[in-house]
Structure formats: structure tokens, C-alpha cells
């Protein structure tokens, strides 16, 4: 298995980071001066040190802190929901659920935690083996951490604003930690909940377990090079886990459905933002890249009109501040520096600007192109 993963990851192509000519240079980003990226190959003990002593790994450490902070915020919002649930006369009888009625009940809900742990370990091991270099490993892990942090913040808000009774038991009694716990106990609430020691009463919309496993699915869907075998194993594990969530009444069906949709949407928006940022930077596009591409390939008289006729998006969705935030979280600015596109101050280098202003492909007149394709 290990040899197959390694062969598949290297088959037919160079490691992506091999084109980064300045990856080993030391640059200052903000007030911190470090090597840009980890070494492509480990040849000496210094290379082992440089796996951790670079800007890419620093961003990874920040993303770990981000996930922990977001998890704690979600935990406090969940405790707020528990307090509201205990103080107000809510309906404490679990709601009817179509899938709960259709599926047999399994009492051991800890099976869900075991399947979650299996999914996380399988994904971590799979990408540790098949990723072609340390830069790729760090990028994939950082994306998972950043997106999951944002999802947990949004989930905490959803849990806090709408209180639903437990999907497992009627007249659920909230944990004493959530109601009267000390500051330290409240901080540990999240970790005890993940470990299965606590089972909150209102931890419903939407499913955090499903979100974490669906993010692993997205990692396999987007980043893997061995999709036919190993990605389908991941899909089957997650499918079994989702069914077990319903079998154990761990969540309502709507919690699972929303988690799948929200997680997929979050990954889609994040990856699309990174693609947009890459195109704007590499090709010196000003504004939305698709509109700029129309202008660069079509005669100026036709470009904007054709773009609006086909897409009708006078104001495309993507605020610039969101794009820069995602660039920082993804480490895209580090990779642009490693390629020599950006200098130490975050500006385009002279060589990059010269390349971008070189003659572009010939422009096309839309009227001539369409008149030639008309039926005779």
C-alpha cells in the first residue's frame, strides 16, 4: 500500500515545489524573517530543522491555534444554548425524524467517534505518504484546519440561535459543567465532548462530526492523485459514519444534510478564491479575472458587452479583503515569493512585471468569430 501511494504520487510529474527557485531564501514577512518554505528533500539534519523553521510551517502553527480558538468559541456558544435550554420551558421531547423512523437504533453512540478518528487518521496517513513534498503536506493540512475553524464558528452561532431538543433522549438534562462549571471546566468542555465524556442536549444543527469527516472527503476529492482506490475507501468510511450517526440518533437527519452542504460550499468558495487570487497575481489582472480575461482576448469594443451577455455579473461575488485573507491563510503569498513573483515587500518583482506585460495572444473580434459560425 505504501509503495503504491508513493509511486502514484510521483508518477509522471515533478513535485510542484520543484519550480520554486527561491524557496530556500530568507525573507521578512511582517516583522518575522524566516526561510520561505521547507526543503524539497531531506539530505542533512539541517533540512530536518528547516521543515519546521520556515514561514510555511509558521502559518500552519497559526492555523492550529485558529482551529483551537474557533473550537473554544463554538464550545462556549454551545454552553450558552444549554443554559437557555435549562432556563426556559422548551419542548424537551425529541422531534420526529424520517430516517430515525426508518433505521434501527444502535445504543453505542461512541462508534461515531471511532469512525471519525478512523477517517482523520486515514486521511492524515494517506496524504503524508502520497504528497510529493513537505510544502504540499503543509498546504493540505492548513486548508483543512482553516476551513474547519470557520465552519465551527458558524456552527456555534447556529447552535446558539436555535435550540432543538436532544435527538437521542427525551427530557435531556444538560451537563453541570455547561450550567455551573468553572472557567477551567468550561474550557475543557470541548475536549471532553470530543472524547465522548459529555453528551450535550442541544448540540444539533448542524453536525460537527459530519463537517469534520466531509472535510476529509473534500481533501481526498481535491488533492489526491490515487482517487480510484484509496479515495473510495475514504468515501465508504464516511458513508458508514453518517449512517451510524443516524442509527445512534446522534443527530437529526437535517443536521447531517446541512453539514454536508455547508462543508462542500465552504471548500468550494475557499478553493475558488485561491484560484481567483492566483490568476489575478500571475497575470496582473485588475479586478475579477474572468472579466479581465474577456478584455485581454476580445476586441475592446466587444469584451464587456459579451461578458455581461454571457454571465450577467456586473459585480462578481468576491470582496478583495476576503481574497487577501484567504491568500494569507493558504500561504499563497509565500509560494508567490518562492516563485519570484513577489518580492520581500509583497510587491510584484521587476521580472514578473516584464513577463506579464509581454505581448499577449492576438485579440479576437467577436462579430467575425460568430458570423463565421452562422449556419448557411
pLDDT for 5 equals 44
Count of helix runs (H) and strand runs (E) in the chain? 18, 2
The DSSP string of 25-43 is -EEEETTEEEESS--SS--
What pLDDT was estimated at residue 262?
Answer: 96
| pLDDT attached to residue 374 | 52
Beta bridge partners of 35: 26, 54
pLDDT for the residue numbered 118 = 95
Query: How far apart (Å, rounded) are the C-alpha atoms in residues 233 and 226?
Result: 11
* Rounded Cα gap, residues 219 and 140, in angstroms: 7
Q: Which helix (H) or strand (E) holds 49?
A: helix 45-50
Residue listed under C-alpha cell 454571457: 310
Q: What is the pLDDT of residue 325?
A: 92
Backbone phi, psi, residue 35, to 5°: -65, 145
The pLDDT of residue 366: 55
The grid coordinates listed for 330 are 493558504
Residue 42's SS3 state is: coil
**Count of alpha carbons within 13 Å of 121, Cβ hemisphere only?**
6
Closest CA to 54 of 34, 69, 71: 34
Give the cell for residue 242. 453518517
pTM, two decimals, is: 0.87
How many alpha carbons lie under 13 Å from residue 300 in its C-beta half-sphere? 0
pLDDT tens digits, the chain, 376 residues: what are they? 445 444 554 554 577 777 878 888 889 888 889 999 898 778 888 888 888 999 999 999 999 999 999 999 998 898 888 888 888 776 788 888 899 999 989 888 889 989 999 999 999 999 988 888 899 999 999 999 999 999 999 999 999 998 888 888 888 888 888 788 777 778 887 777 776 677 788 888 889 999 999 999 999 999 987 767 889 999 999 999 999 999 999 899 999 999 999 999 999 999 999 999 998 888 877 778 888 888 888 876 678 888 888 888 877 777 788 889 999 999 999 999 988 887 776 666 645 555 555 555 666 665 555 555 555 5
The dihedrals phi and psi of 375, each to the nearest 5 degrees, come to -70, 145
Residues 71-92 as b/e (b if ≥16 CB within 10 A, e otherwise) read bbbbbbbbbbbbeebbeeeeee
| Length of the chain in terms of residues written | 376
**What residue segments make up the domains of the chain, in order of their start?**
2-273, 284-372
Identify whether the C-beta of residue 226 lies closer than 8 Å to the C-beta of residue 5: yes
Amino acid at each position: 500500500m505504501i509503495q503504491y501511494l508513493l509511486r502514484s504520487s510521483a508518477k509522471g510529474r515533478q513535485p510542484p515545489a520543484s519550480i520554486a527557485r527561491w524557496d530556500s531564501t530568507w525573507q521578512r514577512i511582517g516583522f518575522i524573517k524566516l526561510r520561505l518554505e521547507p526543503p524539497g528533500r531531506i539530505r542533512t539534519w539541517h533540512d530536518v530543522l528547516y521543515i519546521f523553521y520556515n514561514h510555511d510551517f509558521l502559518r500552519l502553527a497559526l492555523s492550529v491555534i485558529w482551529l483551537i480558538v474557533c473550537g473554544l468559541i463554538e464550545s462556549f456558544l454551545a454552553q450558552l444554548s444549554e443554559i437557555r435550554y435549562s432556563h426556559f420551558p422548551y419542548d424537551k421531547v425529541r422531534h420526529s425524524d424520517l430516517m430515525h423512523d426508518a433505521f434501527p437504533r444502535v445504543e453505542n453512540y461512541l462508534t461515531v467517534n471511532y469512525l471519525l478518528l478512523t477517517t482523520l487518521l486515514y486521511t492524515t496517513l494517506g496524504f503524508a505518504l502520497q504528497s510529493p513534498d513537505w510544502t504540499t503536506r503543509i498546504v493540505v493540512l492548513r486548508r483543512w484546519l482553516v476551513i474547519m475553524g470557520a465552519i465551527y464558528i458558524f456552527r456555534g452561532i447556529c447552535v446558539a440561535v436555535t435550540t432543538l431538543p436532544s435527538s437521542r433522549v427525551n427530557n435531556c438534562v444538560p451537563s453541570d459543567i455547561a450550567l455551573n462549571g468553572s472557567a477551567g471546566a468550561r474550557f475543557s468542555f470541548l475536549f471532553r465532548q470530543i472524547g465522548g465524556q459529555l453528551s450535550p442536549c442541544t448540540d444539533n444543527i448542524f453536525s460537527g462530526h459530519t463537517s469534520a469527516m466531509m472535510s476529509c472527503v473534500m481533501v481526498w476529492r481535491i488533492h489526491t492523485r490515487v482517487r480510484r482506490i484509496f479515495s473510495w475507501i475514504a468515501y465508504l468510511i464516511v458513508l458508514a459514519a453518517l449512517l451510524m450517526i443516524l442509527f445512534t440518533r446522534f443527530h437529526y437527519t437535517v443536521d447531517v444534510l446541512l453539514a454536508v452542504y455547508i462543508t462542500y460550499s465552504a471548500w468550494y468558495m475557499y478553493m475558488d478564491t485561491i484560484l481567483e487570487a492566483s490568476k489575478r497575481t500571475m497575470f496582473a489582472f485588475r479586478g475579477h479575472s474572468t472579466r479581465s480575461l474577456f478584455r485581454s482576448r476580445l476586441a475592446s469594443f466587444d469584451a464587456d458587452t459579451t461578458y455581461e451577455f454571457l454571465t450577467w455579473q456586473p459585480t462578481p461575488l468576491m470582496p478583495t479583503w476576503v481574497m487577501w485573507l484567504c491568500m494569507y491563510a493558504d500561504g499563497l503569498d509565500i509560494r508567490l515569493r518562492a516563485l519570484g513573483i513577489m518580492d520581500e515587500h509583497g510587491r510584484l518583482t521587476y521580472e514578473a512585471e516584464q513577463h506579464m506585460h509581454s505581448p499577449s495572444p492576438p485579440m479576437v473580434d467577436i462579430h467575425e468569430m460568430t458570423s463565421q459560425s452562422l449556419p448557411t
